[in-house]
Amino acid sequence: MLTFKALSHKPFGARRPHRLALATLPPRAFAFLHTFGLTVWIALVEGSGWSLILPGLLLLLWPAIAYLHAAQAQDSKQAEFKNLLFDSLLFGVWCSVLDFYVLATLSIALACFMNNMVVAGPRRMLVSMALFAGGALGWSALTGFEIRPYVSTGLDIYQGAGAVAYFLAIAYVMYGQNRQLGRSMREIKFQNRVFHALLELGGVANSASNIHMLLDDSLKHLHADFPEYGFAVFLQERNRPEVTRYAAVAGLQLGAEDERRLGGLLAKLHDRQESVVKLREKSVGEQLYATSMAGRLSQYEGWLIVRAPKLDGRLERMLTLFVDQLAAATENKLLHLALKKTAERDGLTGLYNRGFFESALQLSVQGKGQTPSLDFAVLMVDVDGLKVVNDRYGHVAGDQLITTVAERLQVHCRASDILARYGGDEFVVLFPSADLTAANRLASLIRTHIEGQRCSITTADGKRLTLELRLSLGGASSTEVPAQEVLTLADERMYDDKTRRRKQRALS
């Protein structure tokens, strides 16, 4: 064994041969060693001595030569096919040397034919038969043809036992190959499941509208593809790991208190370097394992939790892939949402911008066209006196006035109302699925709680200034005019209100 290992080291140019060559090495070594023993036995019985034993020593060299041949060949598998054929030729010659001792010839020939049949099919077996017969007949033509039907009972027992051992060894090798094939098939099926799950995660990432939906749907798909496992994911704030920002569970029985305790446990593990951390035993035969998303998220510390009977290499590789996919999808979604917010929001007030409002208004107009009973309303709001503030005290002061009005308008808008900054001093509110009553309700709240109230701003030179809020309002609904004209009517009414208020102030 030490000799074979030394010969197979890379400095001698050898490579690890195909698994077929590795599988056939022990049976081949046994067969040739057994045949050498047979040769020695016959030599001792017949008194031929070293004239038969010395050539038989060559039998002991062939397994090592065959292994080296397979290890050094560019195509190791094809090289081993040739080795098996040469086995047939060599054994055919040696059966002739032993004068065709019947039991040995039959068992050796059968072993050669079976080996080639198993690895390469009937055609290769026929080639093996031809080589065996050619070797036997060719050597007999050179040295003479004799048949030795019997030597001794002991030799028959030796040969029979060797044949049985060899065939059992071949059966064991085939059993091992079948087990390896079964493991490979299971591994392929598992990898296909993983690949399918990764594809689904990519689809979920594209369709999810927010992080909560992304994590929930991702874990539901994972659990559907791997029902034998349970999954959970926790995203914790990077600077405050004790605060869990997002969490999702699928296939795990975790109550609110369980989630809180698990989140606290993960917060203590954020400095751990292991790729997979064993948390605690969930139940008999089950464990909870946590895989960190460390370094994969810019804003959060993430953990993927799995419930599994045990952790093996296959599960660990799967978790690594899923963590990479989830982290990438989460990071992309966070970036997408940030960009979307930037595109949809006004930079000063944080309200929706004009572009988003006009898109929402267009959807309401289309909805009205498709379903005439589906109305909507609009309320326009103008901040009176903004130009004066900008001219007298600077745009910084004017911006403070605008943000103050925006904050106070948000207080009185409902979640379903779409509040947007429409222009420099104008705000607009869209009321989907509502009539003029909704606009009038908000206008009444504005007149009661915002109009005439005072606010403090800081001028460009650092002085504090108190201003009285004055707002002009104009509302309209699709119950009054065609849907395309609602915004125009609300704008006209707002300017009428502004004009009327100016006249009142002038008279007073």
241 touches 222 (CB < 8 A): no
* Same domain membership, residue 150 and residue 10: yes
The domain boundary residue, chosen from 318, 342, 366? 342
* Same domain membership, residue 426 and residue 295: no
pLDDT tier, 488 (very low <50, low <70, confident <90, very high otherwise): very high
Residue 190 located in a structural domain? no
Determine what percent of the chain is predicted with pLDDT higher than 90: 33
| Average pLDDT value for residue range 253-279 | 72
| Average pLDDT value for residue range 314-324 | 86
Residue 500 located in a structural domain? yes
Q: What is the pLDDT of residue 462?
A: 80
Is residue 480 pLDDT above 70, yes or no? Answer: yes
Q: How far apart are CA 402 and CA 425, in angstroms?
A: 7
pLDDT tier, 136 (very low <50, low <70, confident <90, very high otherwise): very high
Determine what percent of the chain is predicted with pLDDT higher than 70: 94
Q: What is the pLDDT of residue 280?
A: 65
Could you please report the per-residue DSSP string of 34-69?
A: HHHHHHHHHHHHHT-THHHHHHHHHHHHHHHHHHHH
* Same domain membership, residue 215 and residue 155: no
The domain boundary residue, chosen from 294, 319, 342? 342
Residue 200 located in a structural domain? no
Q: What is the pLDDT of residue 183?
A: 84
* Same domain membership, residue 337 and residue 367: no
| Average pLDDT value for residue range 170-189 | 84
Q: Is the entire prediction scored with pTM above 0.75?
A: no
The domain boundary residue, chosen from 288, 309, 342? 342
* Same domain membership, residue 169 and residue 22: yes
| Average pLDDT value for residue range 122-145 | 92
Compute the mean pLDDT over every residue in the chain, rounded to the nearest whole number: 86
152 touches 101 (CB < 8 A): no
What's phi and psi for 481, nearest 5 deg? -135, 170
Bridge partners (DSSP) listed for residue 237: 300
Q: What is the pLDDT of residue 281?
A: 52
Q: What is the pLDDT of residue 9?
A: 41
Q: Which one of 193-207, 243-257, 379-393 scores highest in mean pLDDT?
A: 379-393
Residue 445 identity (one-letter amino acid) = L
Q: How far apart are CA 76 and CA 226, in angstroms?
A: 38
Q: What is the pLDDT of residue 297?
A: 85
pLDDT per residue over 370-403, tens digit each? 888 889 999 999 999 898 888 888 888 999 999 9
| Average pLDDT value for residue range 488-507 | 89
Q: What is the pLDDT of residue 407?
A: 95
The CATH number of the domain holding residue 329 is 3.30.450.40
Return the minimum-mean-pLDDT range out of 100-114, 284-298, 349-363, 460-474.
284-298
* Same domain membership, residue 369 and residue 320: no
Residue 197 located in a structural domain? no
* Same domain membership, residue 469 and residue 437: yes
Could you please report the per-residue DSSP string of 231-286?
A: EEEEEEESS-TTSEEEEEEES----HHHHHHHHHHHHTTTT---SEEEEEEEETTE
Q: What is the pLDDT of residue 339?
A: 81
3-class SS string, 3-31: HHHHHCCHHHCCCCCCHHHHHHHHHHHHH
Is residue 79 pLDDT above 80, yes or no? Answer: yes
* Same domain membership, residue 417 and residue 332: no
pLDDT per residue over 6-42, tens digit each? 333 444 444 677 778 888 888 888 889 999 998 898 8
Return the minimum-mean-pLDDT range out of 4-13, 71-80, 238-247, 477-486.
4-13
Could you list the residue range(s) of the whole structural domain that residue 240 is in?
A: 209-342
32 touches 58 (CB < 8 A): no
How many structural domains is the chain composed of?
Answer: 3
CA distances from 271 to 10, 237, 266, 295, 450 (A): 41, 14, 10, 12, 51
Residue 195 located in a structural domain? no
CA distances from 25 to 63, 76, 82, 104, 173 (A): 7, 13, 14, 21, 10
* Same domain membership, residue 309 and residue 276: yes
Residue 202 located in a structural domain? no
pLDDT tier, 272 (very low <50, low <70, confident <90, very high otherwise): low
Whose CA is closest to 405, among 462, 340, 456, 450?
A: 450
Q: How far apart are CA 173 and CA 163, in angstroms?
A: 15
* Same domain membership, residue 273 and residue 175: no
* Same domain membership, residue 363 and residue 334: no
What's phi and psi for 462, nearest 5 deg? 90, 5
* Same domain membership, residue 227 and residue 252: yes
Residue 128 located in a structural domain? yes
Residue 347 located in a structural domain? no
The CATH number of the domain holding residue 379 is 3.30.70.270
Residues 113, 119, 124, 128, CA torsion sign:
negative
Q: How far apart are CA 502 and CA 258, in angstroms?
A: 63
Q: What is the pLDDT of residue 365?
A: 93
Q: How far apart are CA 33 and CA 38, in angstroms?
A: 9
